[in-house]
A and B are shown apart, each in its own frame.
Chain A
Amino acid sequence: MSSPMSTPGGKRGRPSNPSTRNEAATSPPAQRRRGQPSSNGDLPLMPTSPPTDMPDPLQDTSLFSSPPHLHHFLPSEVDMSSPLMYGTPSSRVDGTPRSGARGTPARQRPDLGSVRKSKQVDLQSEPSAADGAAAAEQPAGQRLVIWGTDVNVATCKEKFQRFLQRFIDPSSKEDENSCLDLNEPLYMQKLEEISIVGDPVLNINCGHVSSFDAELYRQLVCYPQEVIPTFDMAVNELFFERFPDSILEHQIQVRPYNALKTRNMRSLNPEDIDQLITISGMVIRTSQLIPEMQEAFFQCAVCAFSARVEVDRGRIAEPAVCRNCNTTHSLALIHNRSMFSDKQMVKIQESPEDMPAGQTPHTTVVYAHNDLVDKVQPGDRINITGIYRAVPMRVNPRQSNVKSVYKTHIDVIHFRKTDEKRLHGQDDENEQRLFTEARVQTLRELAAKPDVYDRLSSALAPSIYEHEDIKKGILLQLFGGTRKDFSQTGRGNFRAEVNILLCGDPGTSKSQLLQYVFNLVPRGQYTSGKGSSAVGLTAYIMKDPETRQTVLQTGALVLSDNGICCIDEFDKMSDSTRSVLHEVMEQQTLSIAKAGIICQLNARTSILAAANPVESQWNPKKTTIENIQLPHTLLSRFDLIFLMLDPQDEAYDRKLAHHLVSLYYQSEEQLEEENLDMAVLKDFIAYARSYIQPKLSEEAGQALIEAYVEMRKVGSGRGMVSAYPRQLESLIRLAEAHAKVRFSDKVETIDVEEAKRLHREALKQSATDPRTGFVDISILTTGMSATARKRKEEITAALKKMLQSRTKTPVMKFQQLFDDLRGQSETAITKDQFEEALKALCDEDYLTISGKTIRLAT
């Protein structure tokens, strides 16, 4: 079709319209692909209403054979929109198939630019006698096409109707279709829905069109401006045939979405102009509502004759002559009687995930029309389907020079929020993350390898040496458990997120590990306990100075919903800040009652925290709690607590030294080869998180029970509790995460084994009682080891006994009593222990302490 362009158009009438120059300044740029797109859409007007200024109507028939003539011949808007062209002012209704529509008004589609075109196209099919020159490239029977395209209206309509009637997608996963019968034609059900609900919009997944009829899909993508109105026609015919009695506000509009691949904003190029595209991005700004004139109403000042002129691509051609009285320049625009439609400018920006490193995000202007106005808010992540446009910029309206640059924008046809809480998708994790077939294949292959777990854990922060178990723990944290809902039984959601605390000597690369994780996950937040306040972590209320509107500003924990919140220097956090973590770490929500706003925000975040010991160096003679001085209530909420200590062993030192030295001379490429690509790891985690939801198998359940019972048993022999239900929950989460690593839908015994091992390792490190050498979970759950508690009781008893033995002196000096007690006991008693014992006795009302004197209560 584009070849005839080369035939010179000089035969006739080319210079007939000198006004072209200026008018054309706002038409879309020429494209190689389509040859003459700028006014091709207007051309089909010709046969329907032979304008008066056309010298030889007989040549009409030849129009299709030599489009270039037309092109030069009738590019002016003045001609096309002159009243001569339209018998009635509302020609757009004329163009639509009224037969079935029963007077349901068509609604203009400013998103498609000029709608008229397609209607004229419809009529165009009537002069079937048109000569077959254009058909040379077309098979017989499809000879007529819309000018400048290869779209035959009748065929296209028929194909689309067939699509609507027959398309079945049994494997549909979309939420919208969830209540429909998947084995019935999908879109017919949707039409039925329209007839009931009365919302005259039909969303069409382009993927469906593509799988049904690739040719139709290609046409839709290449010539949306022509094809979508054809679809509209088709669907309306079909609809009113089926549901002749339904009353709609206006005719049904087709809104295709999910065109081709979802394109990156960065990959848009001139080839895409006037095509249907789908891109994703984030809304950064929305404008006020702009009334845009759709149809101008002119009235003649002399005879009061009125004329309506439609806007075409932003321009109104003012009629120069009144048709009624032939006065020139007598028509005046009457604003009140003109028609306007809503329009809004929306700016979108590339989402951060789509961007190459080191570049700033691109932005694109998008125009939303009619009911799409105000559908999105700044900050929303959306997928937009629309038509890409380019408009030349004029330097000065009075000059013929134009800036050689176009302005580009997208006319939206369909918005789809990606992070919207969808009705049936319980969580918004599956963020339309599109993995290509090939990628999924590689990921699956990787997952099928027996050593995938080790591979991934060693790929995690390769620059940090050793600490294999810690890396494994973090790996499982990245995958997370399966979310379970027990809200019906009154327990609410069970936490699926794994929390990890790293404690250890300064300089053992804890911060580096945190940084690495923060960089790895899409929704990571990194804060330092020293710098963050409670509000910084949670959320705060702010009054917008302009609108006086109260705005909820969210903090790190809420922002990392569904991600990982890395908190460095956990021990340096103030108590009030720490207290907000209690709720987050178990209930995974955040309650706010402030400035009249009471709400509960989701904060389903995993926490990876790092803490330093209080005395700059880890004291192996003290328990974890004593070392890091964190409340046990908080510690018990961590699934895994690891110590990162210097192992102090020669072989380790040597390997460590080698590892570090190699950092300093190995070239980048060498390093790349050794390890799994970070991008692969990222994708692997993202895929597993969104697609794999493992369930416990029977044996795994048994194994977990056994493991738990075993843990309880260990302590019971010595009269202490060594496991609580919280530990069981941790085990389940870890086992599930391990199953996710294997891409397995079932938790099996090996998963439980690994969870047990890891849990034991972590406990061994953090919950070993330094006095006895046994693992004692109560260190973490109550803050005191069972032996310590026992010792305290012993001392108290001894003290009491001693006091009872000397009842004659009811008042004693503190220091003297302490010395006496120490002399009596065979083991050493510290002052702290002594004070504790005194306090215990004080609580029993056995004695009172006042300053340095102790008085027996009698």
Chain B
Amino acid sequence: MRCIVFCIPSGASQNSSDSGWEAKVTEFFRQRLMEKDAHTWVPSLNDVPLHYLKPNSLVKFRCLIQDMFDPEFYMGAYDTVDPSTKVLRCGKYKDVTECGVDLDSANMVTSERQTFYCVPIPGESPWKCMVFYAGARVVPSTSYVPSRQKRSYEDDDEDDMDTQPQAQGHAQGNGDSKRQETEAPSGQKASSPPLDLNFPLPGEKGPACLVKVYADWDSFKLNDTMEVYGILSVSPALSALSDQSDTSSSLILDPAECMETAEELRVHSPPASLVPRLHLIHTQRLAHNNPLLPPAALEDSAASLASTLGEMVSVRAELLAYFTQLLLGDVLAAEYLLLHLISNVYARRDVIPLGKFTLNLSGCPATAGPAYTEQLYCALQQLVPSAYRLSMTLQNMNQLRLVPRKDYVANRLLSGALQLAANTSLYLDETQLEQGQLDPAGVRNITALGNVISWQKVDYDFNYHQMEFPSNINVLIASEGRSLLPSDCHVHLQPQVTPPNMEAYLGSALTAQSSSQLNKFRLYLTMARTLDYSISEEVTKAVEDDFVDMRKDDPQSISADDLHSLLGVARLLCLSLGQSALSTDAWSRAKHIETLRKSRSEPQGCLNGNEP
């Protein structure tokens, strides 16, 4: 089984002109990968440094589609030109042709494929990488020795398997791996200015990848997250292209070559050592991004999760206690924080996204400096699969590029911090904002944040026009007073304890949680988010009656918008308890906590005319 997974399909199928094999290949790999642990055998680009991977082998990559390039035409099948070995070859899953190509052959088939520029999922939490790392069978392959058999290479791996992932570099600490490491950078030095790999978030690391898709590319959308399985292609010939475009002999005036700008060439055919190509065979869309849960849709693994479902109530209580501790003893805020973390845009009605639940946590103790908000973020990052903390300093607001922008010179989409995968937690730290002047870019950034919160959409800037892309980002705003940004729900923090040393207090709260406990929380949050939800006829009726009654007493007390948010809170409450239908209990509980919350914010000075 292992060797099958690692075999190179192009070798096997080259000589058949019949196109039926193509469908068989994908089907074959799809089935193999379905087998129980098969996918863990495939090395992942996310975890294994590129130079350890064998070219033309099967690898996987967990990524987000950052940009979509134009479709390209390639030689699907071609004849080699050498008459003695004239065979029909297949160009699928490859970047470069072998031997000369007989361009006039009648057997030549032109096919089409699409290239996506993929980056690792932005803001992946460090804990997750650890889990993936441990889960994946890291195989520091000795790929540069081509004669070595795959079988033995797998055997090596058996030995290494139990060693700690951190130690793997040393475990292989022979001359070989040393040599490789020195080799790798030498390939990059050609491109003197470092190539901007266009990650959405600043400071991200990891390989970017050009994924070539052969079928069904219309079903992919920008910002989709997925795990792709494909053939790694790092042929140096690909990078050579960028350096040598000008050396073509004087009499060959190739019109195509002189036209593209240098930037465009650099971006669209970067050195393969930096941006490997991946010829896609099989994709798995990620419904969620939590390694603790099986990646497939929940129904498939319902049985294994049934036990977790049963535990939800108890885990919820533990998590609530943990949050209460983090939020300085404020139970109500802790409850809202929990609801916020399981929120998810599950549908859109015309322009209204349903299920979003932006939380504004005001009253964050500012005396302790940035320590409190920062530590709170660390704690949350420990629990969610991907998160990003945007410190809303004036400088950041004026200078950061939040909204992706199309760069027409290089013909690519320059990423921005709001190009995030679904269900990413965006933590806005407004306590960092000081008085001062916002420049036009800053105003645009604030507007963009407001759009994300209110409509869950980001208007990408295409210079001549804007294009709207839906987003699904959980926004949490930590502020001193009420935030200048809109929010669905505003909770003013009422600390019950005032620890003298905030840092130590939170630090101890953080370290108190064992990793198995944290795993339980992580699993719980993802599970609760993906549950189904419905409202029965009777409950609908009860809610209607309730609403009418409330309005009767005091029409000012509850508006349509309040009902909206009440229904939202009720839904999240149910999900947090592992219930998939609204109960009257949950409804009254939702009403109760909403009343509590409102009673807090009212003395704060009422609405400033901001609509949600």
Chain A residues with CB under 8 Å of chain B are 5-6, 15, 20-21, 24-27, 29-32, 35-36, 38-39, 68, 71-72, 75, 268-270, 273, 282, 284-285, 287, 290, 292-293, 311, 314-316, 318, 333, 343, 345, 347, 349, 352, 355-365, 367, 378-379, 390-397, 399-409, 461-463, 465, 505-512, 515-516, 519, 528, 531, 569, 572, 612, 616-617, 646, 648, 650, 653-654, 656-658, 660-665, 668, 671, 678
A648 touches B555 (CB 8 A): yes
B544 touches A654 (CB 8 A): yes
Point out the residues of chain A lying under 8 angstroms from B406, CB to CB.
360
Per the bound structure, the CA–CA distance linking A203 and B68 in Å amounts to: 36
B97 touches A379 (CB 8 A): no
Tell me the number of A-to-B contacts counted with CB atoms below 8 Å.
282
B559 touches A507 (CB 8 A): yes
Per the bound structure, the CA–CA distance linking A393 and B71 in Å amounts to: 15
Point out the residues of chain A lying under 8 angstroms from B354, CB to CB.
663-664
Per the bound structure, the CA–CA distance linking A349 and B543 in Å amounts to: 50
B110 touches A401 (CB 8 A): no
A665 touches B103 (CB 8 A): no
Point out the residues of chain B lying under 8 angstroms from A360, CB to CB.
67-68, 222, 406, 413, 467
B81 touches A21 (CB 8 A): yes
Could you tell me the distance in whole angstroms from the C-beta of B286 to the nearest C-beta in chain A? Answer: 16
A395 touches B350 (CB 8 A): no
Point out the residues of chain B lying under 8 angstroms from A349, CB to CB.
462
Bitwise, B101-128 to A at CB < 8 A (1) or not (0) is 1111111111110000000000000000
Point out the residues of chain B lying under 8 angstroms from A406, CB to CB.
72-75, 110
Task: List the one stretch of B238-246, B315-323, B373-381 in contact with chain A.
Answer: B238-246
Q: Is the CB of B463 closer than 8 A to any CB of chain A?
A: yes
Can you list 22 A-B pairs with a CB-CB distance of less than 8 A? A30-B107, A36-B106, A71-B104, A282-B465, A293-B253, A311-B253, A358-B223, A359-B222, A360-B67, A403-B95, A405-B73, A406-B74, A463-B352, A506-B607, A508-B560, A512-B350, A616-B606, A646-B559, A653-B551, A657-B563, A664-B533, A664-B568
Residue of B253, B256, B540 with most chain A CB atoms under a 10 A cut-off = B256
B100 touches A400 (CB 8 A): yes
B110 touches A612 (CB 8 A): no
Partner of A394, one of B83, B248, B606: B248
Point out the residues of chain B lying under 8 angstroms from A403, CB to CB.
95-97, 237-238, 241
What count of chain B residues pass the 8 Å CB interface test?
Answer: 104
Could you tell me the distance in whole angstroms from the C-beta of A375 to the nearest C-beta in chain B? Answer: 18
Point out the residues of chain A lying under 8 angstroms from B462, CB to CB.
349, 352, 361
Point out the residues of chain B lying under 8 angstroms from A465, CB to CB.
560
Could you tell me the distance in whole angstroms from the C-beta of B309 to the nearest C-beta in chain A? Answer: 20
Per the bound structure, the CA–CA distance linking A357 and B74 in Å amounts to: 27
B548 touches A660 (CB 8 A): no
Known: A27-B104, A29-B103, A653-B548. A397 touches B253 (CB 8 A): no
A664 touches B535 (CB 8 A): yes
A270 touches B98 (CB 8 A): no
Per the bound structure, the CA–CA distance linking A854 and B238 in Å amounts to: 91
Known: A282-B464, A404-B91. A516 touches B350 (CB 8 A): yes
Point out the residues of chain B lying under 8 angstroms from A364, CB to CB.
70
Point out the residues of chain A lying under 8 angstroms from B94, CB to CB.
404
A462 touches B349 (CB 8 A): yes
Per the bound structure, the CA–CA distance linking A316 and B73 in Å amounts to: 25
Partner of A409, one of B81, B240, B256: B256
Per the bound structure, the CA–CA distance linking A396 and B263 in Å amounts to: 19
Point out the residues of chain A lying under 8 angstroms from B612, CB to CB.
507
Point out the residues of chain A lying under 8 angstroms from B571, CB to CB.
664
Could you tell me the distance in whole angstroms from the C-beta of B590 to the nearest C-beta in chain A? Answer: 12
Per the bound structure, the CA–CA distance linking A145 and B568 in Å amounts to: 72
Point out the residues of chain A lying under 8 angstroms from B99, CB to CB.
400-401
Point out the residues of chain A lying under 8 angstroms from B241, CB to CB.
393, 395, 403
Per the bound structure, the CA–CA distance linking A118 and B308 in Å amounts to: 75
A367 touches B255 (CB 8 A): yes
Partner of A363, one of B253, B258, B411: B411
Known: A512-B351, A653-B547, A668-B347. A72 touches B73 (CB 8 A): no
10 additional A-B pairs beyond A315-B253, A363-B70, beta carbons within 8 Å, are A30-B107, A36-B104, A38-B103, A72-B104, A284-B463, A311-B253, A364-B70, A401-B99, A401-B237, A661-B535
Per the bound structure, the CA–CA distance linking A403 and B212 in Å amounts to: 14
Bitwise, B460-483 to A at CB < 8 A (1) or not (0) is 001111011110000000000000
B251 touches A507 (CB 8 A): no
Q: Is the CB of B609 closer than 8 A to any CB of chain A?
A: yes
Point out the residues of chain A lying under 8 angstroms from B351, CB to CB.
461, 463, 512, 515-516, 519
Q: Is the CB of B151 closer than 8 A to any CB of chain A?
A: no
Minimal Cβ-Cβ distance residue in B for A391:
B256
Point out the residues of chain B lying under 8 angstroms from A15, CB to CB.
83
Residue of B78, B247, B548 with most chain A CB atoms under a 10 A cut-off = B548
Minimal Cβ-Cβ distance residue in A for B446:
A531
Per the bound structure, the CA–CA distance linking A661 and B563 in Å amounts to: 9
Could you tell me the distance in whole angstroms from the C-beta of A674 to the nearest C-beta in chain B? Answer: 11
A612 touches B91 (CB 8 A): no
Q: Is the CB of B195 closer than 8 A to any CB of chain A?
A: no
Point out the residues of chain A lying under 8 angstroms from B220, CB to CB.
359
Known: A360-B222, A531-B447. A21 touches B253 (CB 8 A): no
B551 touches A30 (CB 8 A): no
Q: Is the CB of B156 closer than 8 A to any CB of chain A?
A: no
Per the bound structure, the CA–CA distance linking A210 and B104 in Å amounts to: 32
Per the bound structure, the CA–CA distance linking A408 and B110 in Å amounts to: 12
B73 touches A29 (CB 8 A): yes
Partner of B607, one of A30, A314, A616: A616
Partner of A660, one of B248, B446, B560: B560
Minimal Cβ-Cβ distance residue in B for A14:
B83
Point out the residues of chain B lying under 8 angstroms from A399, CB to CB.
237
Could you tell me the distance in whole angstroms from the C-beta of A854 to the nearest C-beta in chain B? Answer: 38
A379 touches B75 (CB 8 A): no
Bitwise, B587-612 to A at CB < 8 A (1) or not (0) is 00000000000000000001101111
Point out the residues of chain A lying under 8 angstroms from B67, CB to CB.
360
Could you tell me the distance in whole angstroms from the C-beta of A523 to the nearest C-beta in chain B? Answer: 10
Minimal Cβ-Cβ distance residue in B for A678:
B350
Q: Is the CB of B144 closer than 8 A to any CB of chain A?
A: no
Residue of A285, A391, A519, A653 with most chain B CB atoms under a 10 A cut-off = A653
A401 touches B611 (CB 8 A): no
B103 touches A358 (CB 8 A): no
Point out the residues of chain A lying under 8 angstroms from B409, CB to CB.
285
Per the bound structure, the CA–CA distance linking A36 and B454 in Å amounts to: 57
Point out the residues of chain B lying under 8 angstroms from A315, CB to CB.
251-253
Point out the residues of chain B lying under 8 angstroms from A6, CB to CB.
106
Q: Is the CB of B153 closer than 8 A to any CB of chain A?
A: no
Could you tell me the distance in whole angstroms from the C-beta of B326 to the nearest C-beta in chain A? Answer: 30
Point out the residues of chain B lying under 8 angstroms from A461, CB to CB.
350-351
